Amino acid sequence: MRSVDHVGWDRDLPVKYLLVQKDEEGVEQLWGRCVGVEGLFVEPVPLPREVLTLRGCSPDGALSDILAAPGAEVGGSPRGLGDVCVEVWDGEDPVQWWTLVDAVVSARPVPLDPADPADPADPAEPVRYDVVLGAGVRVDELLRARLTAPRFELFEATAGARSVGRCIDVEGLAGPREDPDPVPLRLIGCEAVEPLLQGTQRPRRWTGSGADLLVLDRHGAVMASHAVGLGVSAVRPSALGDDLEDITLTDGGGDRPLPAVRGVWEAWYQGPPTEPNGWAPYDGPGRAAWLGLTTRAWRVRAVRPDRTGDEHHLDGRFVTDVPGLHCAMAEALVGPGRYFGREWDSFKDCLFGGFGLLPPFTLIWHDCEIARRALAAVTDGPDGRLSYFEEIVQLLEARGVTVVLR
């Protein structure tokens, strides 16, 4: 299926969304097309707050700083850790991954007695604690294998993944949890075709599997794709046309864009950007949303063969955060609206080719001091010691790029 074949109809209103599902051969089949969508931009449903205890914890990094802060020994106000990745090892292998969302040290840490025979301390370890946390718990990967010798490693859930400690158990981590109720999404002015048409005739008694909601720009090109469920909970005639319907999908899917980034999508609706720095007026989340739209643009637009040996100029005037760095970098290397990585790992992958440019080449970074200062305290790279700006420059040079800082 080509989306361009379904964007025109005999109505005054434009088609802005297509609902498609892939068949067994991976070919997209049209299920419906519609004028609007209500509920695409939503705040994420917060995870329920839970209380967990890090048993026998040897703190490191940010957790160590919190426990050493004045007042921590007598129990002060809750102290935030941010998102924490819990990596469960069994012997020599990591086997499970969890994320503690917005983890907060919520009670006075209890230092363990090194002489306690029930919990003998390793002489090589510093003082250990039982640390009580409040957090939302997200399962990133859970294997049901029985653990024989588990240990728990704790990291900041950032690109740098710096250690915040280790412990012998996380009490409450493996408890049963219910999935949050799905958030519905309504298709406005929808022309349904089979088999979605069956669901509109028997709402609440019909369940489909899943589909992709393709978001079109004003030219009819796909600018984004969002996975949704196909259970239909309500249908009503649409005010936009006698034979159109407003169809409520029970599960509108996860990872929807935030209302705050609606302006970014509206800008892209006019068509893929052709001028540089269109991302510059937005804040960090808006710039990250901009980068997200470039990933789809890269998949649906022809990628030029890898070039090499050219000279590229990076406009550094607006590089004040990590998303801004990658927006400016992509524009300098492959052009406005194109994809060349969203963060450290994906940027590194792009430097190995397949995205329109391959080292060696020369990058002239203008106004580099703006990024150097703005990212001086950001250490999300793998080294953890250099600033993100320094890490990026080092990575470029290691891959054979000549970097000229001006």
Please give the pLDDT value at position 370.
97
Contact yes or no for 318/329 (Cβ under 8 A): no
Q: Could you tell me which of 154, 139, 176 has the C-alpha nearest to residue 55?
A: 154
Residue with tokens 């009580």: 132
Contact yes or no for 86/99 (Cβ under 8 A): yes
pLDDT in tens, the chain (406 residues): 666 677 878 888 999 999 998 877 778 888 999 999 999 999 988 889 999 999 999 998 888 888 877 654 444 556 788 899 998 888 777 888 889 999 999 876 777 766 554 444 455 556 788 999 999 998 877 665 677 778 899 998 875 678 889 999 999 988 788 878 889 999 999 998 877 776 666 655 555 678 899 999 999 989 999 999 888 889 999 999 888 999 999 999 988 999 999 999 999 999 989 999 999 999 999 999 999 999 876 554 545 688 998 999 999 999 999 999 999 999 999 999 999 999 988 999 999 998 999 999 999 999 999 999 999 988 766 666 789 999 999 999 999 999 999 9
Contact yes or no for 88/96 (Cβ under 8 A): yes
* 175: number of Cβ within 10 Å: 9
Q: Note the pLDDT tens digit of each residue in 236-245.
A: 999 998 889 9
Q: Could you tell me which of 142, 141, 135 has the C-alpha nearest to residue 171?
A: 135
Question: Which residue type occupies 248?
Answer: T
Q: Note the pLDDT tens digit of each residue in 191-239.
A: 988 777 766 666 555 556 788 999 999 999 899 999 998 888 899 999 9
Q: Could you tell me which of 313, 312, 298, 329 has the C-alpha nearest to residue 366?
A: 313
Please give the pLDDT value at position 208.
60
Please give the pLDDT value at position 41.
96
The residues, ordered by sequence, that sit 6+ positions from 138 with a Cβ below 8 Å of its Cβ are: 47, 98, 99, 101
Please give the pLDDT value at position 17.
96
Q: Give the pTM.
A: 0.80
Residue with tokens 């990575």: 395
| Rounded Cα distance, 221 and 327, in Å | 22
| Rounded Cα distance, 405 and 403, in Å | 6
